[in-house]
Amino acid sequence: MSDVKSNKDAAIAVAYMVRQGLEGFDQAAGAAQQQERPVTISDIARYVMGADVPAVQAKLREDLTIRRTYQQLLAKRRHMYMPMAKAAATASLILERDSDDFTIKLVPAKNHAGQYYVTLQLKSSADISADAELVMHVIQEDKAARCNFPALQSGRCQVVVSESDLLFELLTSADSEIFVY
């Protein structure tokens, strides 16, 4: 076989290999719909911004890499931040926290034992549009909870949280950090 012909055959053989490989990608893609997908950083980014991404929520506690990336994204893109409440570390439950930009208050619901209103009140210094729908992340070590607030009204928004919720546990802990988007 001449060199020219062998070159042609080699090109055909490689083209065959790639065509098979492309089909392999397609076949596996169909089968992959039934499998659990890995979490991508874009998934984590969407979760940070308030999108419903159950896989991220489930993996945050068990996967250190995902947690680190999550915390990294939180730190870099926050609009507002509240550090650990060290001054109040002796208190058993912290029901009010204050930062330069906003205040968080937890008020017991009168008619529903075990439930609290979580109210976020912006301060005038906060650079947030008047009707923004804020997302709050509260983290402490390997625990993380998220809350999507309804649209702001007069710089204020609130949700109801149960005493048994992780969000409540973290919000009332002196060692938690709060990030708001």
Partner 1 sequence: MRNAIRLHGLIMTDEIDYTRSTLVTYGVSDELAMLVQTVAEGTLLDGRPRCAPAAIQEIRQRLLCHNYRKSLFELAHFIGAVAYLSGDLTSVLYLDEAVYPDGFKGVAQDWLANDELPFAIEGNHLTLQFSDGPFDVHFSRVNVMAGWVDLLLLIVPGLLQDCESLAKQCSRAEVLALAKRLQKHLADYLKDHLQTPTKLEEGMFWLEWARKHVDADNLTAAFNDDHVVMFWQHNWQEDDFDFKRYATVARSAHHFVEAVDVGEQQWQVGHAASLDQTNEDGDAWIENIVDVAEPYWEAMQLVGDLALDEAQTDLTEEGDPLTLLQSPPYSEIKFLTAKQLKALEGFVAEYPRQLAVTALRVYIFGKHQARITGALQNKDPETFKRLLEGQELLNPDECVSELQDIAAAISTSRLVTAHVLNLGGHQRGTLLMLLAAGMEVPEGAELALLKKQAEQSTEDWQTQCFKAFAANNRAGFKSLPEPSQLDIYAIGDQQLAKLAELCEQRLAAFNQYAVDTAEQIHFGHDAVVFTRQFQAIYGDRL
CB of 127 to partner 1, least distance (A): 17
| Nearest residue (CB) to partner 1, 37 versus 86 | 37
- How many H-runs (helices) and E-runs (strands) does the chain carry? 5, 8
Select 27 or 162, whichever has its Cβ closest to partner 1: 27
CB of 166 to partner 1, least distance (A): 24
Q: Where along the sequence are the contacts to partner 1 (CB under 8 A)?
A: 4, 7-25, 27-33, 35, 37-38, 40-46, 48-49, 51, 65, 68-69, 72-73, 76-77
In one-letter notation, the amino acid at residue 57 is Q
Give the nearer residue to partner 1 in terms of CB position, either 86 or 127. 127
Query: How far apart, in whole angstroms, are the C-alpha atoms of residue 85 and residue 18?
Result: 58
**What is the C-alpha to C-alpha distance for residues 112 and 101, in angstroms, rounded to an integer?**
30
Give the SS3 label for residue 61.
coil
CA 64 – CA 108 distance, rounded (Å): 34
- Closest distance of CB 126 from partner 1, Å: 20
